[in-house]
Amino acid sequence: MLCRTANELYWMARHIERAENTARLLDVTYRMALLPYETIEPGLAWAEPWAVPLITSGLATDFYESHQHLSAENVLRFMILDSANTSSIYCCLRAARESARAVRGAITSEMYEDLNSAWLDMRVYDYNRIQSSGVSEFLDWVKMRSHLFRGVTFGTMLRDEAYHFIRLGTHIERADNTARILDVKYHTLLPSAADVGGAVDYYQWSALLRSVSGFESYRKIYSDVITPRRVAELLILRADMPRSLLSCMNFIHETLRVLCDDSSREIERVAGELHAKLRYGRTDEIIKLGLHEYLLDFLDSISALGAEINTHFLVPG
Amino acid sequence: MSRLHYDEMRASDGSVRPHYQGFADWLHRTPAEKIAQKREEAERAFHRVGITFAVYGEDAGTERLIPFDIVPRIIHAAEWRLLEQGLKQRVNALNLFLNDIYHEQSILKAGVMPADRVLGNSQYRREMQGMQVPGGIYAHIAGVDVVRVAEGEYFVLEDNLRVPSGVSYMLENRKMMMRLFPELFARQAIRPVEHYPDMLLENLRGVAPAGEDQPEVALLTPGAHNSAYFEHAFLAQQMGVELVEGQDLFVQDDAVFMRTTRGPKRVHVLYRRVDDDFLDPLAFRSDSMLGVPGLFAAYRAGKVTLANAIGTGVADDKSIYPFVPEMIRFYLTEEPILNNVATYQLHKKDDLSYCLDHLSELVVKEVHGAGGYGMLIGPAASSAECDAFRARILAQPEKYIAQPTLALSTCPTFTASGLAPRHIDLRPYVLSGKAVNLAPGGLTRVALREGSLVVNSSQGGGTKDTWVMAG
């Protein structure tokens, strides 16, 4: 496959996945912001939820360059509709569609049509329309478009190199995003240890689980109260949880084994190492190190792996 | 509208022609709302599928749909046989002509046409002289524009031998019609065109450099911003070949390679949709960012086949066009089956004065123009427009040719005020390789403005599905 084609496919997948995860991130923020904190626990100080998606996506600086105030509306506009923010849902859907257009020949026509119609729909959204039909409705729509695209890809595409590069892009992006969403909780600081396990804490963890479609799974697996330890286990170490870090790394490792040949053993090694760390990791160690620190470390590693993939397969020098 | 024009569907007495009866019956029994709904469905589907063309100039970077009309252009079997023979004959002669002018030049030596007209033409590529191309084929893909003026009477307007486009519309229009009106296809024997990409691939493989059993074919596009990009991507996908840009290719030891995720991969045949001038910055325009440095050297070394060959433009030039019937007689010793339009060459004194006297009856075209730009349609032009054009002609008469205005046939077409006749042309695609072949059909273009004779999409033209009936 052409390097240029592989690059477009990889980024097409990353962008559609990023659109979905931005929707998830906004969804958890929205849910957290709706919590009637004062009613549940009067006098509890809590961080401004709308700062969280900006911090976890590393976009706070960009945001404050064009906005003076932190508000739900400003953050939603910035993260959903801003054509200058390359991570906004608008830009992600546009970029995914542009990539698809550039490599139409490498994907099925159903896949292109799917991304094209998502983009055509996206273009008619503005803030008022999103508000009037409901923010959650809109975020659900973004998630559905992403699901649909994955389904069309899974259901129509030949299992060739193109497919593998798409899968690679999807899971690299998802691993990165799950780690960021999981870190949301770190940034919505609770004032004291006494509040841990309180009602607010419970609602925040459950919002977070819901945002990664993990709430029902959690109930099924643990049939018990939500604890940070279990959430970490579920979203980091469980192979059967499709958005967990281990699950993503399983896909990445497996895909790279297909794509790599003798000239690319180093990538396979880097991926293998990261995979092994998750595969044989223990919740105790994560908690001991600190969830936030663990996640930061993981984000560095996955970004390094992304850079390796880039220089070897996608944009060779 | 007057009945001066041949109508594809109805005879001059208003009766439906036999090969249109099936469609006319359907039209008659289908309620207007249902038809309106189908037309909307077609538009939505074309948008979703993304069959668009990029627009240059204002609104640059946007994409537009070429309007699609659901009334098909239908050609009956006997007439298609005639067209098919005529087209094969013509393209055969044009390929023989190209091979000849880059080698022996016997047609020039025999005095059939003036040598300076060919050798002095800006589209004639001296670099191609004496070079052998596989099978002696230059125009592997030709998109010949024909119009009908009467029963069994077709005229060729242009032989497009460079990088003719539009075949994706032929295929997508058919797909759309089958999706919208399956019952029409179930009841009538309409010859399929869907195998065109297979024919094209086989044709391209057949002209690979000698000794390549498993030739690798790739389609070279100028990139996603080209107006025909959709088609490039579509054809590459349908053929299952790589769609490459100049930056994806490099030349080493006179062989052409693609940069792939598994290292360099050899390419043997390039179906190139990039103009001659931009193919190789070392050989042609040095400012070209679209080409591949060294490609021409690889081509000359016989390590890669370019389709179409370099230098085909001389054969479809408007100043060469008047000689095509002579070419057919010279190379094939046959009489031309399809008509050429009488052409006044304005560098000739007599032709010039005739043209200036009859400007309001003639179509005047720039010799090297394309796409309906820079032309005058006398009968439709105001006297001010005629005067302006007269001045341009007088300034540089050799830049122009003039032709009588043909009475292009019409086909019923949906308009804002219902079904009405609109003028159409036809572009069948002729493939030359080991044999000469064409899919039964082509792209029918329709001038959507009442009375207009300009069918180009850049000038407000639309398209129709083209049905060739079996039998």
A28-51 pLDDT, tens digit each: 888 878 776 666 666 555 557 888
Secondary structure (DSSP) of B135-157: GG-S-SEEEEEEEEEETTEEEEE
Residue B225 has pLDDT above 60, yes or no: yes
d(CA B441, CA B426): 9
CA distance B220 to B203: 16
CA-nearest residue of chain A to B222?
A102
Convert the pLDDT of each residue in B247-267 to its tens digit.
Answer: 999 999 999 999 998 888 999
Taking each helix axis as running N to C, give the angle between helix A89-102 and helix A109-123, from 0 to 180 degrees, rounded to the nearest 10.
150
Residue A263 pLDDT class (50, 70, 90 cuts) = confident
Count, residues in chain A: 317
Rounded to 5 degrees, what angle do the CA atoms B60, B62, B64 make? 120
The pLDDT value given to residue B56:
46
Q: Tell me the pLDDT tens digit for each residue of A103-161.
A: 887 899 899 999 999 999 999 999 999 999 899 999 999 999 999 999 999 999 999 99
In this structure, are residues B24 and B427 in contact, taking their beta carbons and an 8 Å threshold?
no
Q: Which helix (H) or strand (E) holds B159?
A: strand B153-160
Cβ–Cβ contact B233 with A under 8 A: yes
First to last CA, chain B: 33
In eight-state DSSP terms, residue A213 is T
Residue in the block written with tokens 């841990």: A196
Question: CA-to-CA distance for B210 and B189, rounded, in angstroms?
Answer: 40
Substitution target from B261, B267, B270 for chain A, most A beta carbons within 10 A: B261
Q: Give the tens place of pLDDT for each residue, B294-350.
A: 999 999 999 999 999 999 999 999 889 999 999 999 999 999 999 999 999 888 899
User: ∠A129-A133-A137 over CA atoms, to 5°?
Assistant: 115
> What is the enclosing helix (H) or strand (E) of B71?
strand B68-75
- What pLDDT is attached to residue A228? 85
Q: Kind and range of the H or E element at B249?
A: strand B249-252
Q: b vs e for B329-348, b when ≥16 Cβ sit within 10 Å of the residue's Cβ?
A: ebbeeeebbbbbbebbbbee
* Residues from A in contact with B at Cβ < 8 Å: 1-6, 98, 101-106, 109, 112-113, 116-117, 120, 161, 165, 259, 261, 263, 313, 316
From the list B471, B428, B435, the residue with the least C-alpha distance to B199 is B435
Using the beta-carbon criterion (under 8 Å), do B247 and A4 form an inter-chain contact?
yes
Chain A residue numbers with beta carbons less than 8 Å from the beta carbon of B263 are 263
pLDDT tops 90 at residue B100 = yes
Residues A206, A209: Cα–Cα separation, whole Å: 5
Report chain B residues whose CB lies below 8 A from the CB of A165: 261
What pLDDT, on a 0 to 100 scale, did the predictor assign at position A40? 63
What crossing angle do the helices spanning A161-187 and A3-34 adopt, rounded to 10°?
30
Please, are residues B401 and B367 in contact by the beta-carbon 8 Å criterion? yes
Residues B257 and A245: their CA atoms lie apart, in Å, by: 39
Which of A8, A10, A12, A104 has the highest number of chain B CBs within 10 A, making it the mutation to test binding with B?
A104
Do the beta carbons of residue B438 and residue B87 sit within 8 Å?
A: yes
Using alpha carbons, list the distances in angstroms from residue B137 to A275, B184, B330: 56, 39, 18
Domains of chain B: 18-209+304-336+407-466 (no CATH), 342-404 (3.30.1490.270)
User: What is the total residue count of chain B?
Assistant: 471
Residue B442 to chain A, least CA–CA distance (Å) = 22
Closest CA to A229 of A270, A184, A287: A287
Both tokens of A268, joined, read: 């396979």
- Among residues of chain A, what percentage have pLDDT more than 90? 68
User: Exposed, middle or buried: residue B252 (CB in 10 Å: 0-12, 13-18, 19+)?
Assistant: exposed
Q: Are B161 and B123 spatial neighbours (Cβ–Cβ below 8 Å)?
A: no
The structure tokens listed for A181 are 């969403």
CA neighbor of A80 nearest in space, from A132, A2, A138? A138
Residue B408 · residue B1 · CB < 8 Å: no
Chain B, nearest residue to A260 by Cα: B262
> What integer pLDDT is reported at residue B370 of this predicted model?
54
B49 touches chain A (CB under 8 A): yes
The residue among A169 and B57 whose pLDDT is bigger is A169
Cα distance between residue A166 and residue A150, in whole Å: 10
Which pLDDT value is given to residue B460? 76
DSSP string, A163-174: HHHHHHHHHHHH
pLDDT of amino acid B369: 59
State percent of chain A over pLDDT 70. 93
- pLDDT score, position B52: 62
Alpha-carbon span A234 to A212, nearest angstrom: 11
Amino acid letter, A177: N
What element of type H or E holds B344? strand B344-345
Which tens digit of pLDDT belongs to each residue from B130-150? 999 999 999 999 999 999 999
By CA distance, what is A4's nearest residue in B? B248
Contact, B443 vs B171, CB < 8 A?
A: no
Burial class (CB in 10 A: 0-12, 13-18, 19+), A135: middle
Confidence of residue B44 (pLDDT cuts 50, 70, 90): confident
Quick one: average pLDDT of B202-230? 93
What's the mean pLDDT in B187-204? 96
